[in-house]
Amino acid sequence: MSEEQLAESEPTGWKKIFIVFDSRVATIGLIIVFFWSALALLSLLWTPYGPNETDFIQNLGPNAKNWLGTDHMGRDILSRLMQGTQVVLLKTRLPWGNISFPGGVALWGVAWSLILGVMLGLNAGYRGEWADQIIMQVLDALIAFPRVVLYLVVIAAFGQGDLVVIFAIAITGAPGVARLARSLAMDIRTRDYISAAETRAESTWFIMFKEILPNARGPLIVDAMIRVGYAIFMIGTLGFLGLGLPPPDPDWGSMVNDARKYIYISQWAVAWPALAIASLVIGLNMFADGLREELARYQK
């Protein structure tokens, strides 16, 4: 009887999603992320002007016609900002012809670092011993390089392009994901249900992906959200260094870089894309943070 009540009192399945709204931090983060996602979707259908149209007076501040002002070539900043969300969140352009596939560079980069990192981390954490030694030594060597240097190496080797940026994000993100997955696997491997699987002589892959991974899901998802933030930041940095996504489509980092040279004439052109990067990254971080706290509360 009391068990019945207990069973009903806690959210299960898809209803769990609503725990996000228990946290104010997570809710604010989610609103920011939604705002940018909506803007990205909208930009597919409509932008105030063409992002590469140079029809306006240069270096204007915000006004009735150009809400966020114009840049040094007389392009509408709002249109460019909206277009810039696409490469981050919505589409990846292939180097062959004018083809692109869905999912932004930041998302794909993090997805691949997650796949790579989880594979390596679970193997290291569950198998232990020499597998752990080898995998972690290699990853530690990778971590020893400063991130930006690693990006430069990758881009120097493969040239510019969306796929290269994805690859760079995946390579630099994987060691961190692997460390997290490893520590989670090392903890979960000591639980009795893993021993139970071992006494059934389940395969190592079954134990790693069916028994361990589902229970490591929460922290990995939260970590991935923060990583999307980092990736956006990194795309911005690369764009600023002129090594990011190839022109002509605008990306936020190169917008900052271009406008930097005219900072004494107009500060707006620098401020808007910088603010855009910052707000999206902060939004993702807030969402991840709040989600982690709520998950911890429910896991007891």
Partner 1 sequence: MNGTTTSKHLEPPVLDVENLAIAYKIRGGEVEGVQNVTLSINQGETYGIVGESGCGKSTVAWSIVNFLGANGYIKRGRVRFMGKELTGQSPEEMRKLRGNRISMVFQDPMQALNPSMRLGEQLKEVLTIHRGLNNADAEARCIDMLKKVYMPDAQNVFRRYPHQISGGQQQRVVIAMALLNNPSLLIMDEPTTALDVTVEAAVLDLVRILKTEFNTAIMFITHNLGVVARVCDNVGVMYAGEMVEVASVENLFNSPQHPYTQGLIRCVPNLGEDKVSSVLYPIPGRVPRADRRSVGCMFWPRCSYAEDVCREQKPALRLIPGTQTMARCHFSEKIAPTKWVPDEDEKNYARAEIGNNSDTILSFENLKKYYRVRGNSLKEVFGLGEKKYVKALEGASLKIEPGMTVGIVGESGCGKSTLLKTIIGLEKPTDGEAKFLGFDIAKHISKRDEQLIREMQMVFQNPDSTMNPSYTVGSQIARPMQRFKTVPKKQIRNEVIKLLKSMRLSEKYYSRLPHQLSGGEKQRVGIARALACRPDLVLCDEPVSALDVSVQAVILNLLMRVQNEFNTTLVFISHDMGVVRFISDYVCVMYLGQVMEMGPTEAVYAPPYHPYTEALLSAVPIPDPLARQKRILLEGSVPSAISPPNGCRFNTRCPRRNLLPHPSVCETDPPWQENGNGHWIRCHISMDDLARLDPVIPTERNEKVA
| Residue 15 contacts partner 1 per CB under 8 A | no
- Joined together, the tokens standing for residue 3 give 């068990």
Judged by CB under 8 A, the chain residues 133 through 152 that form the site for partner 1 are none
Interaction of residue 129 with partner 1, rule CB under 8 A: no
CA 37 to chain centre: 13
| C-alpha to C-alpha distance for 161 and 62, rounded to whole angstroms | 32
Three state DSSP letters for the chain: CHHHHHHHHCCCHHHHHHHHHHCHHHHHHHHHHHHHHHHHHHHHHCCCCCCCCCCCCCCCCCCCCCCCCECCCCCEHHHHHHHHHHHHHHEEECCCCCCEEECCHHHHHHHHHHHHHHHHHHHHHHHCHHHHHHHHHHHHHHHHCCHHHHHHHHHHHHCCCHHHHHHHHHHHHHHHHHHHHHHHHHHHCCCHHHHHHHHCCCCHHHHHHHHHHHHHHHHHHHHHHHHHHHHHHHHHHHHHCCCCCCCCCCCHHHHHHHHHCCCCCCCHHHHHHHHHHHHHHHHHHHHHHHHHHHHHHHHC
Interacting span for partner 1 (CB under 8 A) from 7-15, 43-51, 98-106, 111-119: 7-15
Q: Does 201 bind partner 1 (CB under 8 A)?
A: yes
Residue 61 binds partner 1 (CB under 8 A):
no
Report, in Å, the least distance between residue 199 CB and partner 1.
Answer: 5
Q: Which is nearer to partner 1, 24 or 217 (CB)?
A: 217
Exactly one of 50, 95, 214, 247 binds partner 1 (CB under 8 A); which one?
214
The nearer residue to partner 1, 217 or 260, going by C-beta atoms, is 217
Residue closer to partner 1 (CB basis): 144 or 192: 192
The set of residues, in sequence order, having a beta carbon less than 8 Å from that of 206 and lying 6+ positions away, is: 197
User: Which of 45, 98, 144, 199 forms a contact with partner 1 (CB under 8 A)?
Assistant: 199
Closest distance to partner 1 from the beta carbon of 202 (Å): 7
**Choice between 10 and 17, CB closer to partner 1:** 10
Which residues, numbered 264-283, are part of the site for partner 1 (CB under 8 A)? none
What is the closest distance, in whole angstroms, from the C-beta atom of residue 206 to partner 1 in the complex? 9
CB of 145 to partner 1, least distance (A): 29
**Stretch 165-194: interaction string toward partner 1, x if CB under 8 A:** --------------------------xxx-
Minimum distance from CB of 37 to partner 1 (Å)? 29
Contact at 8 Å (CB) between 214 and 201?
Answer: no
**Which tokens sit at 55?**
């029809």
When asked if residue 261 is in the footprint of partner 1 (CB under 8 A), the reply is no
**Interatomic CA distance for residues 30 and 214, integer angstroms:** 24
Q: Toward partner 1, which CB reaches closer, 16 or 65?
A: 16
196 binds partner 1 (CB under 8 A): yes
Q: Which residue stretch of 59-67, 98-106, 158-166, 200-208 sits at the interface with partner 1 (rule: CB under 8 A)?
A: 200-208
State which residue, 6 or 64, has the beta carbon closest to partner 1: 6
Contact residues for partner 1, defined by CB under 8 A = 1-3, 5-7, 10, 12, 191-193, 195-196, 198-202, 211, 214-215, 217, 300
